[in-house]
């Protein structure tokens, strides 16, 4: 198989990029020193995280002259995400550190006054005047970033570049840019399903579609409504790893001897949801692994196998905290997250440990410690790689002054006709309730560097009665980072309701998909019928 060279400098999920490259018929050779760059015919520079950190790493390791020489020699070069950003002159993410300056222009941060930042999800890469590398205006691609290259008509075209654009709110930015031997994408082709694999293949095969005019069809640019399939995974009483699903977190059958509900096999189900058009797949390991040697963590194998066939972002949650291995060795949350990233995860989700960290944050007068799992993983892999999974439940009160917590007035009165409530955070899968409300938690974890909130709701979980819109409204107004609404989806109309009535950034379903009542495609078709923009699966 022909080879492509990848620069091995990043902490990040390069596993999915390797899988994607192999899927389109190439093998990967790692570049470990600047001298290795000369060996490369085709070179890919992947990148996640912080612009300043990446550029400083390249520079300190002596890569910048070698990369520049490779590009100037006319050999094929592809930059992905921060790999695109590196080609520009600089970024306001760290103005002190220069970029390669191969393209004239600077990056700046998305305006977060009216939308969530980071920009996470599926958006266009719409070729403006010329086609390039099989980028299609009808396709959607997966983005995750806070800084962007603003697009101004003609600016880059004037320098001889071909540009494909996307729009987030009222900001138009560069999604991909190409000239001669160079292709750079702000989106992740390795996480963009078939559309992304096509772009990767066109680059590797050298089919850049020079000069062919772009399709003229009108394109609706913008972030699509993100639909996520979630698989709660645990070992059942027979010792098999199964996908399960609870009712308000109780995963045991009411009959059948109270066995753990077995709804199928994790890898197969993840693939099925990918092919139905799921925009992301989330695995939550709801069984503690305390008694299992870390090297044998069952989710590692599930991620390895899933990432070979599922080319959308994968999240893994459960047990991500500092811990002690069965042989007594201390293992940090960062090391556990690293094992997951190396096995194919793109994001990790932290539950119980986030609540403990938030309690310490407030006890410390809202000062950051710097060493919590969230901070460590966010520093090493970027905020976009850290999700905090919240498991709140309603606490009714007769009047708001009765509590110090952030309350809401509710349309759904409590057992004693109470019209006020607050949402208490829980840990250990809802088994223990803490004296912390959901607003306090999400604001603390945002300050620590979490990139997204997975907002479950114990009262709604498994009820098929729709999302808790009041909870979602309260959390959305408390943070700038994206929020994924979870718990309660029973029919496609519940997704339409949560997208139209709240400002949620994504919505997640579990039981309705696992029980085969609806497919992800049913949900997307319904949203499309109602005029909401979605990405459909491309085969």
Residues annotated in a binding site for substrate: 319, 456
Q: Which of 317, 392, 451, 492 binds ligand 1PR (CB under 6 A)?
A: 317
Given the complex with ligand 1PR, which of 82 and 337 has the nearer CB atom?
337
Kindly identify the residues of this chain, within the stretch 356-395, that bind ligand 1PR according to CB under 6 A. Answer: 389, 391
Indicate the burial class of 451 (C-beta count within 10 angstroms; 0-12, 13-18, 19 or more): buried
The residue among 440, 439, 457 whose CA lies nearest residue 359 is: 440
Burial code (b: 16+ CB inside 10 Å, e: under 16) for 219-237 equals bebebbbbbbbbbbbbbee
CA proximity to 510, closest of 269, 258, 298:
269
Q: Which span sits near ligand 1PR by CB under 6 A: 159-167, 216-224, 315-323, 401-409?
A: 315-323
The yes or no reply on residue 519 touching ligand 1PR (CB under 6 A) is no
The minimum distance between CB 391 and ligand 1PR, in angstroms, equals 5
User: What is the nearest approach in angstroms of ligand 1PR to the Cβ of residue 457?
Assistant: 7
Query: Residue 323 forms beta bridges with which residues?
Result: 331
Active-site position among 353, 391, 446, 459: 391
Q: Which pair of structure tokens corresponds to residue 428?
A: 């250990």
The answer to whether residue 249 forms part of the interface with ligand 1PR (CB under 6 A) is yes
- Residues ≥6 apart with Cβ < 8 Å to 182: 71, 77, 78, 79, 87, 102
Smallest distance from ligand 1PR to CB 528, Å: 21
Find where tokens 């949801």 sit.
Answer: 273
* Number of residues lying near ligand 1PR (CB under 6 A): 30
Q: What is the DSSP secondary-structure string of 148-215? A: E-B--TTTTGGGT-EEEEEEETTEEEEEEEEETTEEEESS-GGGSHHHHHHHHHHHHHT---TTPBPP
41 is catalytic: no
* Marked catalytic residue, from 50, 70, 145, 188: 188
208 binds ligand 1PR (CB under 6 A): no
- Candidates 86, 269, 284, 377; binder of ligand 1PR (CB under 6 A) is 284
Among 103, 251, 302, 450, binds ligand 1PR (CB under 6 A): 251
Taking CB under 6 A as the criterion, the residue among 83, 246, 382, 482 binding ligand 1PR is: 246
- Which of 473, 476, 487, 455 shows the shortest CA–CA distance to 411? 473
Q: How far apart are CA 128 and CA 151, in angstroms?
A: 11
| Per CB under 6 A, 318 contacts ligand 1PR | yes
* Residue from 66, 511, 521, 523 binding ligand 1PR (CB under 6 A): 511
Instruction: Pick the closest to residue 229 from 294, 152, 315, 308 (CA basis).
Output: 315
CB of 182 to ligand 1PR, least distance (A): 41
266 binds ligand 1PR (CB under 6 A): no
Closer residue to ligand 1PR in complex, CB, 166/455 = 455
Residue placing its CB nearer to ligand 1PR in the complex, 344 or 462: 462
Per rule CB under 6 A, is residue 466 in the interface with ligand 1PR? no
Residue 391 is among the residues annotated as catalytic for this protein: yes
Contact 87, 184 (CB under 8 A): yes
Residue 461 lies near ligand 1PR (rule: CB under 6 A): yes
Helices and strands in the chain, H and E counts: 15, 28
Q: Measured between alpha carbons, how far is 367 from 456 in angstroms, rounded to an integer?
A: 27
**Does residue 126 bind ligand 1PR (CB under 6 A)?**
no
Q: Which of 121, 351, 392, 482 binds ligand 1PR (CB under 6 A)?
A: 351
Using alpha carbons, list the distances in angstroms from residue 195 to 139, 366, 492, 537.
Answer: 6, 44, 25, 9
Q: Single out the segment in contact with ligand 1PR by CB under 6 A; choices: 126-134, 193-201, 256-264, 346-354.
A: 346-354
- Stretch touching ligand 1PR by CB under 6 A, among 1-9, 151-159, 314-322, 414-422: 314-322
Secondary structure, 3-state, 205-265: HCCCCCCCECCCCCCCCCCCCEEEEEEEEEECCCCCEEEECCECCECECCCHHHCECCCEC
CA gap 93, 108 in Å, rounded = 7
The span of 26-34, 414-422, 505-513, 529-537 binding ligand 1PR (CB under 6 A) equals 505-513
Task: Find the binder of ligand 1PR among 131, 181, 262, 487 (CB under 6 A).
Answer: 487
Least Å distance, CB 245 to ligand 1PR, is 5
CA–CA separation, 346 and 33 (whole Å): 25
**489 binds ligand 1PR, rule: CB under 6 A:** yes
Candidates 208, 221, 232, 496; catalytic one: 232
Catalytic residue positions? 81, 188, 190, 232, 391
Residue ranges that bind ligand 1PR, judged by CB under 6 A: 230, 232, 245-246, 249, 251, 284, 286, 317-320, 349-353, 389, 391, 429, 456, 461-462, 486-489, 509-511
């Amino acid at each position: 198989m022909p080879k492509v060279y990848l620069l091995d400098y990043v902490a990040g999920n390069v596993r999915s990029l390797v899988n994607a490259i192999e899927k389109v018929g190439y093998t990967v050779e790692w570049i470990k020193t600047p001298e290795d760059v000369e060996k490369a015919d085709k070179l890919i520079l992947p990148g996640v995280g912080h612009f300043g950190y990446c550029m400083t790493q390249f520079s300190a390791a002596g890569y910048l002259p070698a990369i520049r020489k490779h590009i100037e020699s006319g050999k094929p070069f592809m930059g992905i995400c921060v790999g695109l950003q590196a080609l520009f002159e600089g970024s306001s993410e760290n103005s002190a550190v220069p970029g390669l300056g191969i393209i004239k222009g600077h990056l700046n941060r998305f305006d977060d006054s009216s939308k969530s930042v980071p920009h996470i999800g599926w958006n266009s890469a719409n070729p403006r005047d010329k086609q390039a590398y099989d980028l299609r205006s009808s396709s959607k691609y997966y983005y995750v970033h806070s800084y962007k290259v603003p697009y101004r008509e003609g600016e880059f075209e004037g320098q001889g570049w071909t540009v494909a654009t996307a729009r987030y709110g009222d900001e138009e930015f560069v999604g991909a840019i190409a000239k001669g031997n160079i292709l750079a994408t702000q989106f992740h082709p390795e996480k963009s399903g078939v559309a992304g694999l096509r772009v990767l293949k066109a680059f590797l095969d050298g089919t850049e579609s020079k000069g062919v005019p772009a399709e003229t069809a009108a394109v609706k640019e913008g972030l699509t409504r993100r639909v996520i399939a979630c698989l709660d995974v645990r070992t059942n009483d027979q010792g098999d790893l199964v996908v399960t699903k609870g009712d308000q977190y109780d995963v045991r059958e009411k009959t059948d001897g109270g066995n753990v509900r077995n709804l199928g096999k994790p890898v197969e189900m993840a693939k099925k949801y990918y092919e139905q058009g799921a925009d992301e797949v989330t695995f939550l390991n709801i069984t503690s692994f305390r008694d299992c040697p870390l090297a044998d963590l069952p989710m590692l194998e599930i991620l390895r196998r899933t990432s070979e066939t599922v080319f959308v972002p994968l999240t893994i949650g459960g047990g991500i905290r500092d811990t002690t291995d069965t042989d007594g060795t201390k293992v940090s949350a960062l090391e556990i997250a690293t094992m997951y990233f190396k096995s194919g995860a793109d994001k990790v989700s932290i539950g119980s440990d986030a609540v403990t960290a938030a309690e310490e944050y407030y006890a410390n007068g809202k000062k950051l410690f710097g060493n919590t799992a969230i901070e460590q993983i966010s520093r090493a892999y970027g905020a976009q790689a850290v999700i905090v999974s919240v498991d709140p439940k309603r606490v009714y009160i007769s009047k708001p002054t009765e509590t110090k917590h952030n309350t809401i007035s509710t349309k759904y009165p409590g057992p004693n006709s109470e019209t006020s409530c607050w949402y208490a955070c829980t840990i250990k899968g809802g088994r223990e309730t803490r004296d912390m409300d959901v607003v306090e938690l999400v604001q603390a974890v945002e300050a620590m560097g979490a990139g997204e909130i997975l907002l479950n709701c114990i009262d709604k979980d498994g009820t098929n009665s729709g999302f808790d819109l009041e909870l979602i409204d309260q959390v959305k107004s408390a943070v700038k980072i994206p929020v994924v609404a979870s718990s309660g989806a029973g029919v496609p109309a519940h997704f339409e309701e949560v997208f139209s009535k709240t400002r949620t950034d994504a919505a997640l379903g579990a039981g309705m998909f696992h029980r085969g009542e609806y497919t992800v495609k049913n949900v997307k078709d319904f949203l499309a019928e109602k005029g909401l923009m979605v990405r459909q699966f491309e085969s």
